[in-house]
Amino acid sequence: MTESDKTNKTPRVRKTAPTIRERAAEAQEKIDNPKVSRVRAVLKPPVRLARSARIPSNPITRILGKIFKVLGKAISWLIPRYFINSWREMKQVTWPGRKETRRLTLAVFMFAVVFGAIAAIVDKGLDEIFKKTVLK
């Protein structure tokens, strides 16, 4: 490599990892402004047509429609709204990746060890004080 090649290189800039708040904002933006992929754009019109297609009305379809309507109400009555709403919330959560999960788990374990050590030291100290003052 010549010296001029070395000077013409642009410095490599390392991107910082997005915070949880930034990832949540990106996820919310994707929900608010969905970008339709080519596959979905191609498949969407037939799906819309199928949903809006009118089912011929005859005695069997009317009976089945009433049965499904009753079943739908029974299911919505059996499953409390709490579970339905919590499932919707769970689908909106932005879960951490493996690396972040490991880091957070390590932080929790370190906190537990430090807190346990402090509690043990305080317990031992109070035990000694109790033995010297009350039990003497």
For the segment 97-103, the average pLDDT, to the nearest whole number, is 94
What is the pLDDT, as a whole number, of residue 65? Answer: 83
| CA–CA dist 15, 45 (Å, integer) | 40
Q: What is the pLDDT of residues 22-45, one digit of tens each?
A: 888 888 887 777 665 555 555 555
| Nearest CA among 96, 122, 94 for reference residue 107 | 96
What is the pLDDT, as a whole number, of residue 78? Answer: 76
| CA–CA dist 76, 70 (Å, integer) | 10
Instruction: List the structure tokens of 27.
Output: 């996820």
Q: What is the pLDDT of residues 44-56, one digit of tens each?
A: 554 444 455 566 6
What is the pLDDT, as a whole number, of residue 54? Answer: 65
For the segment 70-80, the average pLDDT, to the nearest whole number, is 78
What is the pLDDT, as a whole number, of residue 102? Answer: 96
Q: Is the pLDDT of residue 8 over 80?
A: no
| % pLDDT > 70, the chain | 77
For the segment 50-69, the average pLDDT, to the nearest whole number, is 74
Q: What is the band of 118 on the pLDDT scale with cuts at 50, 70, 90?
A: very high
Taking the alpha carbons of 49, 54, 56, 61 in that order, is the dihedral positive or negative? positive
